[in-house]
Amino acid sequence: MRPKLVVGNWKMHGSLSGNKNLLQGLVAGVGAIGEVSASVCVPFPYLAQAQQMLAATPISWGAQNLSEHAQGAYTGEVAAAMLLEFGCRHVIVGHSERRALYGETDAVVAAKFVAAKSAGLVPILCVGETLAQRESGQTAEVVAAQMVAVLDKAGVGAFAGAVVAYEPVWAIGTGKTASPEQAQEVHAAIRALVAGRDEVIAAGLQILYGGSVKAQNAGEIFVKPDIDGGLVGGASLVVDDFLAICQAASR
Ligand code: 13P
């Protein structure tokens, strides 16, 4: 069985004092969450704080983006090697907010995935369809195209030890979750796509669900066979909610 993973995506939220309370609460509660790995992806300026507060705990941390370049004249960008200096384990790649608001194309996302993986970070590759795409029956095609762009560039071998997150855009921050059956269907399709290139890597690939995961719905989502945990936005900012979601993944 694949181990479960729950990752908090703080997005652009936080403050030094607020983070301190949140992280202290998570550390205090983490002993009770059982067999699940937990991680928080924080804004860049708070990586040092996460490193300091989480280093001696079972909780990992990471970033929400990185540059596709190793170094150079790229004002405002952050390289994989810099994330490693702050002890990052994970980095989110190709979140739909970055695709939609910052123009990240499949090609850029693929290059970022390669940069993360080759530096030794665990990329969390986000894929997912918009509401219009779902309503016009294009979900499978859109998600497959997003996956293939990265598989072709990185090679299937790069998916060993990487993570994929299926995040339907219409479910992010809206309170609308994909039904467990809808999510399972897409997760199974993602795994089958990877299996077409390498069955062993596909069988070991952690595929997280993201989009309005809450303490109340996490259990019914995580019980599905191809759902290996969650990528959690809003609920990751509340200690008890995030811990309850981790707990739901450990059952
Ligand atoms: P919400 O959990 O707030 O819907 O956000 C999901 C998400 O985008 C995680 O990356």
Please state the residue numbers annotated as binding site for substrate: 9-11, 173, 212, 233-234
State residue 31's pLDDT score. Answer: 83
pLDDT at 185 over 80: yes
The whole model's pTM is what?
A: 0.97
167 touches 210 (CB < 8 A): yes
Helix 47-54 crosses helix 16-29 at what angle (to 10 degrees)?
Answer: 30
pLDDT digits (tens, 9 = 90+) for 73-120: 999 999 999 999 999 999 999 999 999 999 999 999 999 999 999 999
Mutation test residue for ligand 1: of 213, 214, 217, 238, the one with most atoms within 8 Å of CB: 213
Match 């540059």 to its residue by tokens.
67
Domain boundaries of the chain, sorted by first residue: 4-249
229 touches 207 (CB < 8 A): no
Nearby residues of 65 by Cβ (< 8 Å), 6 or more positions away: 78, 91, 92, 93, 95, 98, 112
Nearby residues of 46 by Cβ (< 8 Å), 6 or more positions away: 10, 14, 16, 19
pLDDT digits (tens, 9 = 90+) for 22-54: 999 999 998 877 778 999 999 999 999 999 999
> Which candidate in 68, 95, 104, 187 is catalytic?
95
What does the block give as tokens for 20? 């301190």
pLDDT digits (tens, 9 = 90+) for 116-154: 999 999 999 999 999 999 999 999 999 999 999 999 999
State the distance from the centre of ligand 1 to the C-alpha of 73, rounded, in angstroms. 32
Q: What CATH architecture is 4-249?
A: Alpha-Beta Barrel (3.20)
* 167 Cβ below 6 A of ligand 1: yes
User: From the alpha carbon of 173, which atom of ligand 1 is closest?
Assistant: 4
> Which candidate in 68, 97, 104, 167 is catalytic?
167
State residue 176's pLDDT score. Answer: 86
251 confidence band (pLDDT: 50, 70, 90): confident
pLDDT digits (tens, 9 = 90+) for 49-76: 999 999 999 999 999 999 999 999 999 9
Measured from the Cβ of residue 58, the count of other Cβ atoms closer than 10 Å reads 12
State residue 4's pLDDT score. Answer: 97
State residue 147's pLDDT score. Answer: 98
